[in-house]
Every structure is written in C-alpha cells, then in structure tokens.
Amino acid sequence: MSFVETYATDDAVALAARIRAKEVSPREAVAAAFAAIDRVDPALNAVIMRMEAQAEEQLAALDRLDPAATPLYGVPVLLKDDCQSYAGVPSANASRLAAGFTRDYDTEIMARYRKAGVIVVGKTNLPEYGSNATTEPVANGPTHNPWKHGFSVGGSSGGSSAAVAAGMVPIAYANDGAGSIRCPASSTGTFGLKPSRARTPAGPVSWDLWGGLVSEHVVTRSVRDSALMLDLTDGPDVGAPYFAPPKTRPWFEEVAAAPGRLKIALSLTPPVPVEVTEDVRAATLRMAKLLEEMGHEVVEAVPVYDGEAVAEALKLMVCAYDAAQVDDLSKIMGRPVDRSTVEGGILAAAERGRATPAPALLDARGRMGAEARRFCRFFGDYDLLMTPTLPQAPMAHGYLDSDGLDLDVYLARVLGHLGFTHIANVTGQPAMSVPGGFSDGGLPVGVQFIARPGDEATLFRLAARIEEAAPWAQHLPPVHASRG
C-alpha cells in the first residue's frame, strides 16, 4: 500500500501523529493530498481551485511553529470558497458576478488555521452564494456524490463533504446557515457538527451574516477531528455581535468523556410539509434502538413551535440578504446583476428581497425569535432532540435547480429537503449529523442531534460513543482515493 492509500483513510489526528513521529513529513502529506485530488476529483468536481503555490508558502511557515505544541501540524485541509478568505486568493462564491473577487487579508478563521499548522491545499465547490441544499452551480458545474454519480452531495458545503468522503483531505472548512454542514455530511457519510451561534469567528468580513444564522466549522472523517478543530478555532473575534458560553474544558477531552444516561426526544415529524421516506425513517429508528442499547432513554416527542412560520420568515430574510450581496458585488466588480452573471433563482430572490420593506424584515426576525424561544423550552425536559438529518436520501441532480425553477417552487424544495435542520440555526443551538447507515438506493443517511444552547460537549461525547458502537470510517464510497 502506498502512502496515498494510507493518507486517504487516516483521520487528521492519526496523520498528525505520523508527522510528529517523523514517519512522514508535512511536505509528503501535502503531496499525498494533491495526489488524492488528482485520483478522484475528475470524477467528482469537488475542488475548484488547487493552491500549490500557497501550500509551499505555508510549508515554509511551519518552521516558525513548534510541532509538539501544534496538534495538527502539517495536516492538509481544504477551504470552502465562500466566507473565509486566504489573502490574495480569489473568493468567487460560485458566482460569475464575483469571478476574480479577492481580499488582501486573511479572515479570522484562516488566521487561526495558520496558527494551527494546517495546510490549505485548495478551495471547494458550493452552490452560488451558499443558498442551496445541493452543489450544482452554473459557474463551476455540479459536484457528484462519491457514492453515486449524478446524485447530490447536499449543500451548501457540498464540495467540502465530498472531498472528505472521497479521501482527498481528512478535514474541510464548512459553514452552516440552515443545514449547510449537516446536510452535506448526511449526504456523504461524514461527520458534521454545527457549533453554537458565535462559537467560532465570522470576521472581519461578516458581522451578522444571515441575521446570526451562520456558524463556521468543518466537515470531518472522525468525531475527534471535529472536536480538535473546534478547540483550535473557537472563541470570539474583535467586534463579534453574539457570545457563546465558554467551554469548561477542551472539546477534544469531551470525546473521551462518558455522556451519562441521556434523555433523548425522538421526532420523525418534520416542521415543514415534506414526507420522511421509509428508508430514512428506518435508519433513524435503528439509531434510536442503538442508543437504548447503550443505556439512554429515548422518548418519542415533537417540539411545539410553528415550523412553517419559521420557514416563511427564513425565506424572506434570505431573499433580502441575497439582494444585498449581489448589489454590493455588482458595485465592487463593475458587472450587471442579470442572467449573464447570476443564476435565475438568486436573481429572483434578490428581486423579491429588494421589494421587501424593512418593517416586514423586522417582523420576520421577530417571528423567528418568538418561535426560537418556544423551541428552546422543549429542552427543559430533554437533553437532546434526535431527528433524521434530512427527510430523504440524496436526490438526483436537477431536483433543486436554482437556475431553472420558479422561485417559490425552488425555495419550498430547498427548505423541504433540509426539513429538520434550519431550526437550530434560528435558535443558535449546536447540532450534528452522525452517519446512520444507507438508503435503499445505497446512499448515505444521517441522523441529527440538537443539544441545549452552548452544549457541544454532550454532542461530542455521544457522537464518539456512536462512532465506537457503529463505526462508519470503514465504509468507503466507490470513488475514493485509497482505491488507487
């Protein structure tokens, strides 16, 4: 077995241990990452930019870091091509309007990546402006699911999740405004945790992106990688508008801690009009049975709140933010906002956003806040809420076509496909998608867990025990870098 095959199945913690033991150098790890991308990305289209020159710069900068004090020293990662910027590298957000847009500074997450010693080797695909639950942008073309060609990897962090699932890197940056970490993780059989609101920094680019709905983190191969990366990136940045309760100890230590006996609510009832397919229902019930066998109490219970009101308010806000974003980019780039530069769905959303009066937006935020409080009261009786991550398995490309569908049909399909995820963005609670098996068609299915505000610790503890009892890392998709 060549090192590329070993590299493609190691998680980041294991790879970093090899580097510290001098079994392999950071340069060899980076070379393996590029070799893995070469092997599988032509079939997937997950990586839209290779960053060889920047990788060389980062490798040279490793000399200033202490390997013993840098847990992920020399580990290759990928960066989703949206909110987080590497100085001097274009950030187009999968948009023809923003092609060539470049910042001359690192965003705070990227600065923390440098301090962590990870090596960014490229950028990953996403839907235009991250506003879809699939990754099929006109600007870059679709990303294919490594489990089945022609099927969605979810969105918006679809390129990142596909790259991790296919063994290109063990960790890829992702963010989540309505399910954009958890949806792709569910769709590709990877682990995805959305941290609490303000747990990780969004600046200096964003102050209040999507009204505080967006959280920054990663998609990973293992639970411990996610926990360690959160340790390396959490904490507020200057001017952060929100505050997350501080951790009591490193997240990485929570992975080894026992969760205790948890009272877990199980809901198979989506908050929006959509059907949960039988194979997804069965996978979720199998997970519930596993949890009971582990000693937890699982109780069927449905949170009481107006999910449709939340969805309608969310649509209104997203349209307004789309309008603000494209209009701002139009001024910066000197390009028109029309079908030559923007997909039809974003164009229609922006038009609706411009036509929405400010009082209506404030009312939408108020309605979301009121329902968020109702939802959070549910956690006075339960430690966790367990649901399917998505109501159905990954769909064939085209179902969530943001360029060709009527806006209302498009928005209804997106929020219907996300189903259970977006409420945790509204409330700011931490939530995760854990691999839960496969659909009847052989595609991955995830199970979601939502914790009390600020309680990532319980999620990491439980996820690690699930990973031990029902390991997922040995399930490799047909398109995987270890296959040679």
Whether the CB-CB separation of 212 and 242 falls below 8 Å is answered with yes
Whether the CB-CB separation of 36 and 158 falls below 8 Å is answered with no
Cα dihedral sign, 151-155-159-160 = negative
| Entry field: residues in the chain | 484
Cα radius of gyration rounded to whole Å, the chain: 21
| Active-site residue identified among 91, 156, 160, 215 | 156
Q: Hey, which residues does 469 pair with through a beta bridge?
A: none
Instruction: Supply 460's token pair.
Output: 């990491």
3-state secondary structure of 71: coil
Please name the residues in contact with 265: beta carbons below 8 A apart, sequence gap of 6 or more: 299, 300, 301, 303, 378, 381, 382, 384, 385, 386
| Active-site residue identified among 80, 148, 194, 315 | 80
CA 285 to chain centroid, in Å, comes to 24
CA 450 to chain centroid, in Å, comes to 15
Task: Report the alpha-carbon distance of residue 289 to residue 1 in Å, rounded.
Answer: 38
3-state secondary structure of 172: strand
| Active-site residue identified among 180, 186, 267, 482 | 180
User: Phi and psi of 356, rounded to 5°?
Assistant: -85, 120
Respond yes or no: is residue 331 known to be catalytic: no
Whether the CB-CB separation of 215 and 182 falls below 8 Å is answered with no
Respond yes or no: is residue 131 known to be catalytic: no
Instruction: Supply 378's token pair.
Output: 């549910």
Alpha carbon distances (Å) from 90 to 95, 117, 213, 346: 12, 22, 25, 21
3-state secondary structure of 224: helix
Task: Report the alpha-carbon distance of residue 338 to residue 252 in Å, rounded.
Answer: 47
Task: Report the alpha-carbon distance of residue 389 to residue 387 in Å, rounded.
Answer: 6
Task: Report the alpha-carbon distance of residue 297 to residue 264 in Å, rounded.
Answer: 6
Burial 98-128 (b: 16+ CB within 10 A, else e): beeeebeebbbbbbbbbebbbbbbbbbbbbb
Respond yes or no: is residue 157 known to be catalytic: no
Whether the CB-CB separation of 161 and 190 falls below 8 Å is answered with yes
Instruction: Supply 412's token pair.
Output: 């209804």
Residues with a known catalytic role? 80, 156, 180
